[in-house]
Amino acid sequence: MDIERIHTPVMLERTLELLAPALEREGAVYVDATLGMGGHSRAVLERFPNAIAVGLDRDTDAIAIAEERLTAFGDRARFVHTVYDGIAEAVHGEGFAEVDAILFDLGVSSLQLDRAERGFAYAKDAPLDMRMDSTRGRTAADVIAEYSEDDLRRIFRDYGEEKLAARYARAIVRARAESPITRSGRLVEVLHDATPAAVQRAGHPAKRVFQALRIEVNEELSVLERALPAALDLVAVGGRIVVLSYQSLEDRLVKRVLAAASTSTAPAGLPMELPEHRPQFRLLVRGAELASESEQAENPRAKPVRLRAAERVRRPS
């Protein structure tokens, strides 16, 4: 596998620019909460020779590749097999009470998309798996086989923001009554047949359904909802966090958490803001930043990305 060809870190230069003031500290600790194949971590270790990187990932294949790619950095590169809501336990397990920089590069990785047998890509026929950690948990095929029509409709609507959620759930229940749906190709056929011709011209009918299944299988939103507060608690004063989101549900959650952390808690009507009410973080970018047009042209996976970032300015007394 040509790792350099399939793995181009998204918004790498902007991420490093935002994290640099924290990473330039002596002995800076950087946490890559979604290690993947280690592209961002390698750049950090190369450019900030005093930094230590702690990489987390639930995908054992990704960790194995990252370990090989980062072996030259010796014990400056640490690896923990965990879902990123285990970030506090992972950091403490490596002997650190707090950290200087954290990156979340959310969504499905290049490795998972490009290995057809993982079942993430609707354009490739494969077993309906979609587990980011292939060693445990239910698969997308399990969800398709076991969920009621109401539950399928709910996840397609809530996690895929799919307008035809009810129609697709009904079609799947009918199709599985005839024979099990265990492969992505068969699921795509069912969805295609259930899609009006006018809607098909507006985009691939399976895109949002596959997103919804992936989020459900990996509990992505509930994991992220737990992970972000835990990550913020770890950031030292002057430390920074960057989050790259690839779909609106993630980005809205990130926006809400960072907004709360960067907003005064002073009750309305107080004549002055007391120190204990001052925000603990300040936002580093206005709104959500997009990848440049040139990066989007060179790397199509950068098109949907939304970047948000914050810096800790104080700890509670």
Sequence ranges of the binding site for S-adenosyl-L-methionine: 38-40, 57, 84, 105, 112
**CATH 3.40.50.150 domain span(s) along the chain:** 3-111+220-312
Q: Strands (DSSP E) along 164-259, which ranges?
A: 235-245
Instruction: Give pLDDT tens digits for 52-73.
Output: 999 999 999 889 999 999 999 9
Task: Burial-class residue 115 by CB neighbours within 10 Å (0-12, 13-18, 19+).
Answer: middle
Name the helix (H) or strand (E) containing 117.
none
Domain 3-111+220-312 sits in CATH at 3.40.50.150
pLDDT attached to residue 107:
75
Question: Where does the pLDDT of residue 316 fall: very low under 50, low under 70, confident under 90, or very high at 90 and above?
Answer: confident
Q: Which residue has the tokens 């809530």?
A: 158
The per-residue pLDDT of the chain, averaged, comes to 91
Sequence ranges of the binding site: 38-40, 57, 84, 105, 112
pTM: 0.89
Protein fold of 120-218 = DNA polymerase; domain 1 (1.10.150)
Listed range (168-172, 221-225, 269-273) with the worst mean pLDDT: 269-273
- Separation between Cα atoms, residue 1 and residue 169, nearest integer Å: 37
pLDDT attached to residue 251:
96
Q: What is the mean pLDDT of residues 286-312?
A: 94
Name the helix (H) or strand (E) containing 252.
helix 248-261
**CATH 1.10.150.170 domain span(s) along the chain:** 120-218
- Separation between Cα atoms, residue 217 and residue 240, nearest integer Å: 30
Distances (CA, A) of 277 to 132, 262, 273, 314, 317: 40, 11, 6, 11, 10
Instruction: Give pLDDT tens digits for 168-184.
Output: 999 999 999 999 999 99
